[in-house]
Amino acid sequence: MRLLIGLVVGSALVLGACASTYRVSPVVSENQLQVAASSGESLRSSKKHVVEVGAIRPSMRQFDSPRFNVRFKNQGKEPLEFSTENVSVTFNGSAARVLSYEAQIQDVQNRLAYYGMRAPIFYNPAQSFFYHQPLHYQPFGSRRGGFLMVEDFNDRIDVQQALADLDYIQKNSLKPRVVRPGQEAFGEIVVGSKLGASSSQSMVVTVVVDDEQHQFTFGYDELK
């Protein structure tokens, strides 16, 4: 594991040194408004329902996975289910996978399972302190021998990062839920594809809910 982490870190440094930076630019279409958000500019589409989509950051690095905040407000008369299943993405003309909340949690659970650890699927504020407890050093402990029995420094860093990722996903990602009339659903989605090397790229985020389609376009222009 130590060698693997060293190789990953080394590769990340090499890629980071060569990676370009791209500015994310919302493209305003008909019946849309560009609105200010904490992370930058978002696009809002108002039809029967209201949907707002915005990039998590105003710029991003090559090889990063694009992330967006998605907000849906139910302005109908019936409760509606809303999740990443309602969101699709086209990246440079090709379909790209949107990672579900469950898939993101499963990825972290797989990382923790290597150390014999398990994690809940949904965030519980009463247990959030648990994720931030320091890992105890076990000089003769078994990596698979029980919870937090991790003897290698790099392995402990790996576990801490996995727990931090778990905490972030549970707090911020778009979770499946039933949205009642007048209520909102809000959360972050992650696109499975990574930003390529072209100087100008585009991404189209489509949200379909209650047989109604909202489409949002974002340009990615390389900063010279």
The residue that leads in pLDDT, 129 or 124, is 124
Backbone dihedral region for residue 112 (phi beyond 0: left; psi -120 to 50: alpha; all else: beta): alpha
Tell me what pLDDT residue 147 has.
44
68/8 Cα distance (integer angstroms): 26
Mean residue pLDDT across the chain: 80
Q: Of the spans 83-87, 147-151, 192-196, which averages the highest pLDDT?
A: 83-87
Q: Of the spans 11-15, 184-188, 195-199, which averages the highest pLDDT?
A: 184-188
The whole-model pTM stands at 0.76
pLDDT (average), residues 158-163: 86
The residue that leads in pLDDT, 176 or 138, is 176
Fold of 19-99+173-222: Immunoglobulin-like (2.60.40)
Tell me what pLDDT residue 221 has.
87
Does the pLDDT at position 17 exceed 90? no
The pair phi, psi for residue 65, each rounded to 5°, is -90, 120
Portions of the chain given CATH number 2.60.40.10? 19-99+173-222
189/192 Cα distance (integer angstroms): 10
Tell me what pLDDT residue 132 has.
40
Tell me what pLDDT residue 141 has.
39
What separation in angstroms does the CA of 221 have from each of 19, 22, 62, 196, 213?
13, 5, 11, 11, 26
Tens digit of each residue's pLDDT (9 = 90 or more) over 44-73: 999 999 999 999 888 888 788 889 999 999
The residue that leads in pLDDT, 164 or 149, is 164
